[in-house]
Structure 1
Amino acid sequence: MTNRSTVRGFPQDHLIYLYAGDILFGRGYREVRTLLGSCVSIVLWHPKAKFCGVCHFAVPESPNGLHGTLNARYGNHCIELFSRFAKERGTELRHYQARIYGGGNMLAHHQPLRTLAKPPARIERGSVGEQNAGAAFAMLMQHKVNIIEADVGEQCYRKVYIDTRSGKVKSVCCYVG
Structure 2
Amino acid sequence: MRAALDIFLGIGDLHFCSAPARIRTLLGSCVSITLWHPARKLGGMCHFMLPARNRRPEEPLDGRYGDEAMALFDREIARHGTRPADYCAKVFGGGNMFPTRPRPTPALDVGQRNILSAHSLLAERGIRIVAEHLGGDGHRKLVFDVGSGDAWIAFQDLGAQQQRRQ
Structure number with larger C-alpha Rg: 2
Residue 73 in 1 paired to residue 64 in 2? yes
Higher strand proportion, which one? 2
Give runs of ≥4 in structure 1 deviating > 4 Å.
none
TM-score relative to the length of structure 2: 0.87
Identity of aligned residues (%): 35
Matched, 1:132 2:114: yes
CA contact (8 A) 1:35 1:160 kept: yes
- Aligned-pair CA distance for 1:83: 0.9
How many residues align? The count is 156
Q: Measure, in 1, the Cα distance between the counterparts of 2:24 and 2:148.
A: 15
Q: Contact between 1:110 and 1:126, CA under 8 Å: does it hold in 2?
A: no
Q: Is the CA contact (8 Å cut-off) linking 1:162 and 1:168 kept in structure 2?
A: yes
Q: CA RMSD of the aligned region, Å?
A: 2.0
Equivalence map 1:26-175=2 (5 Å): 26-64=17-55, 68-108=59-99, 109-111=101-103, 125-175=107-157
Q: Greater shift after overlay, 147-156 or 58-67? A: 58-67
Q: Name the one with the larger helix percent.
A: 2
TM-score normalised by L of structure 1? 0.81
Q: From the superposition, tell whether residues 141 and 30 of structure 1 become closer, same or farther in structure 2 (CA, over 3 Å).
A: same
Matching residue of 1:117: none
Asked whether the equivalents of residues 158 and 171 of structure 1 are also in contact (C-alpha less than 8 Å), the reply is: yes
